[in-house]
């Protein structure tokens, strides 16, 4: 998949605005500083996250029963909708499918939603695993082995993301000659 430089920049601008450059990226802090209310809330079966904007107030609900890395990805994903799709829709509900889409590239989603979900996932990846920092971390290995799951696991821990999200991000950046 190609890297969307506008989405990369949008995520980076958000991090820069709040001077957040240490790992793991403090995604809850990013959301709060963007003026968004966060609600850990059991959203029902399969629902990972919700973005709801009403009277100019933005709320993100996320499922606290899911793993920590998943919760972080969900918040980042909803932040992506907030940043990129703010004007067009007021409510986003994200179920199992959005996550599956990036991880397993399923096509369960209606095609009109695919682009937005893809964009929100790209934003989440860029926010949680900023390009420049991933590059620096990879270079620090002095010979990063893409097939070495130990190295991927180490980085996933550092960025506090799932190993799938980490390896997907690294492969994606590498494919686009950005590492």
Nearer to Zn ion, 82 or 159 (CB): 82
Least spacing, CB of residue 144 vs Zn ion, in Å: 31
Residue in the shown chain whose Cβ atom is closest to Zn ion: 94
Least spacing, CB of residue 89 vs Zn ion, in Å: 10
Nearer to Zn ion, 44 or 143 (CB): 44
Least spacing, CB of residue 147 vs Zn ion, in Å: 31
Nearer to Zn ion, 98 or 159 (CB): 98
Beta bridge partners of 91: 52
**Rounded CA gap, 26 and 169, in Å?**
18
Binding site for Zn ion (CB under 5 A): 94, 98, 117, 120
**Rounded CA gap, 145 and 123, in Å?**
26
DSSP letters spanning 79-122: HHHHHHSTTT-SEEEEEHHHHHHHHH----S-HHHHHHHHHHHH
């Amino acid at each position: 998949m190609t890297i969307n430089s506008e989405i990369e920049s949008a995520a980076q601008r958000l991090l820069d605005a709040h001077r957040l450059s240490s790992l793991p990226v403090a995604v809850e802090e990013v959301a709060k500083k963007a003026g968004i209310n966060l609600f850990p809330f059991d959203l029902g079966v399969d629902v990972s996250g919700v973005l709801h904007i009403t009277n100019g107030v933005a709320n993100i609900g996320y499922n606290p029963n899911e793993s920590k890395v998943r919760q972080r990805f969900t918040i980042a994903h909803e932040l992506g909708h907030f940043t990129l799709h703010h004007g067009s829709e007021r409510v986003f509900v994200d179920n199992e499918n959005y996550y599956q889409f990036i991880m397993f590239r399923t096509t369960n989603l209606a095609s009109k939603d695919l682009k937005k979900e893809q964009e929100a996932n790209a934003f989440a990846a860029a926010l949680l695993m900023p390009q420049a920092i991933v590059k620096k971390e990879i270079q620090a290995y002095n010979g990063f082995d893409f097939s070495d799951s130990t190295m991927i696991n180490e980085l996933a821990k550092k960025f506090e993301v799932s190993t799938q999200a980490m390896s997907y991000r690294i492969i994606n950046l590498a494919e686009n000659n950005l590492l």
